[in-house]
Structures are given as C-alpha cells and as structure tokens.
C-alpha cells in the first residue's frame, strides 16, 4: 500500500519480535529488545525525510558530493505507551523537541477521547515523528493527527511510527489521512472481538513500564 512501509523481515528482526511477543519474557528483556526494534524503526523513518544536496571537502582535501538534512523535526508521543519510544528518538536525533498527546480509549466502545496535549509552538514548521507502539483500530492515532492538523501541520509532513500494526488500523488510517506515512515493524493478522491486535504482544505500555 502506498505510504505504508514495513521493515524487512530478517531473521534478526523475527527473533526480536519472538522475544517481545512471548508472554514469559520478563520486564528487563522486554524493554531491551523493544528498544532495539524502536531504534531500527526510527532510523528507517528518518530515511523517509527529504534531504538537500551538499558539497563538502573531506579531511584528505577531496571534494565530496553528499547530502544534509532538510528542515527540522519534532517527535510527538501518544501517551503513555508512545513515551517508550522517546529514548530511541533522542539517541539518534540530537536535541530533538518532543510533544505529548494523551488519548484514552473507552474499553466498552473502543472509541478514543482526547484528554491533554502539549506541543511546541512552531510545530507547523517541522516534520513530525508521531510515536505509538501499536496500531489497532486506528482511533487514537487519528485523534492525534486531528490535533496536529489543528496546529497547521500538513498531513504529508507526518510519519507515524509503530512496532506492530494490523490491516484494519492501516486501512482506517490511510483512508482518513491518505497523505501521511506509516512505518511499522510488522503487520499482524487482525483484531479480535475486543479490538486487540492478534497474535499481538499484549498491552505494550503495561509490559514496558511494568504496570
């Protein structure tokens, strides 16, 4: 699907996902191996950003045709689970600004409700890395994107990064906001009767933060 990017399913990546999917994996290992996947996702997401051509002189006094980053970026985490991805962003993006959006899902209706947002004042001038580990129904991320659009952020400057997605969420998100980009680690089978991704890995936030 256009604007949907999935990590190459290498043996190494499959091993990482096997660890974090396993219900017997302890907290420390879940965090460690999730962080490895998040780092890979962030690097791949940055590769979707535009660049400028740049000529430099190397330390051997040779000319080199390279590139430089174009425009500034901002990460926005959908709380609470999205905060687990902030460390990975900071490790590869020096002095990056991070905004936060709190959305709670009604467990009976599975509908999202905006509770809180705190975002940089110059958000509309930046490319946005929107962070949330799981894409299930797509309700929460759609609400978050609406918040960003009200801050005059163009759709095509938003990259939604998640570890695990399902077809229902992807289809809903791309139908609603066709110009955004999605990068995910893996696309699972679908949703169960409770709107949980299956086979999935459980509640990411609870497992990552140990609650």
pTM for the model stands at 0.93
- Cβ distance 162 to 204 under 8 Å? no
Half-sphere exposure of 153 (CA within 13 A, CB side): 30
Which residue did the predictor score with more confidence, 114 or 111?
A: 114
Question: What pLDDT score does 110 carry?
Answer: 62
Show the tokens assigned to 157.
């400057």
- Average pLDDT over every residue of 122-144: 94
* Averaged confidence pLDDT in the chain: 93
Q: Kindly list the catalytic residues.
A: 105, 109, 203, 206
- For the residues 72-80, what does the mean pLDDT come to? 93
Beta-carbon count within 10 A of 2 CB: 6
Sign of CA dihedral 37, 40, 46, 48: negative
Cα separation of 30 and 204, whole Å? Answer: 9
| pLDDT for residue 1 is more than 80 | no
The structural domains of the chain, with segments of one domain joined by +, span: 4-53+63-209
At 80 the pLDDT is: 86
Mean pLDDT in residue range 97-124: 85
Q: How confident is the model at residue 195 (pLDDT cuts 50, 70, 90)?
A: confident
Q: How far is CA 176 from CA 93, 160, 170, 173, 179, in A?
A: 29, 14, 10, 5, 9
Which residues, including other chains, have CB under 8 Å from residue 61's CB and lie 6 or more apart? none
Band (pLDDT 50/70/90 cuts) for residue 49 is: very high
Take residue 97 and report the two structure tokens written for it.
């600004």
CATH class as words, domain 4-53+63-209: alpha beta
Structure confidence at residue 75 (pLDDT):
96
Give strand pairing partners of 5: 183
* Structure tokens belonging to residue 105: 């899902």
What is the rounded average pLDDT of the residues 146-174? 96
């Amino acid at each position: 699907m256009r604007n949907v990017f999935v990590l190459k399913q290498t043996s190494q990546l499959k091993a990482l996902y096997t660890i974090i999917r396993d219900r017997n994996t302890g907290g420390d290992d879940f965090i460690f191996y999730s962080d490895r996947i998040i780092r890979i996702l962030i690097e791949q997401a940055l590769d979707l950003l535009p660049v400028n051509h740049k000529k430099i002189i190397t330390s051997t006094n040779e000319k080199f045709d390279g590139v430089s980053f174009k425009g500034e970026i901002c990460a926005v985490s959908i709380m609470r689970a999205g905060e687990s991805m902030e460390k990975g962003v900071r490790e590869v993006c020096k002095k990056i600004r991070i905004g936060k959006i709190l959305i709670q899902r009604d467990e009976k209706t599975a509908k999202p409700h905006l509770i809180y947002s705190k975002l940089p004042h110059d958000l509309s001038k930046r490319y946005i890395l929107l962070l949330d580990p799981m894409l299930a129904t797509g309700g929460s991320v759609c609400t978050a994107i609406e918040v960003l659009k009200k801050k005059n952020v163009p759709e095509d400057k938003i990259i939604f990064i998640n570890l695990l997605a399902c077809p229902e969420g992807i289809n809903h998100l791309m139908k609603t906001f066709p110009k955004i980009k999605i990068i995910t680690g893996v696309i699972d089978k679908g949703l169960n009767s409770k709107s949980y991704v299956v086979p999935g890995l459980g509640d990411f936030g609870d497992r990552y933060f140990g609650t």
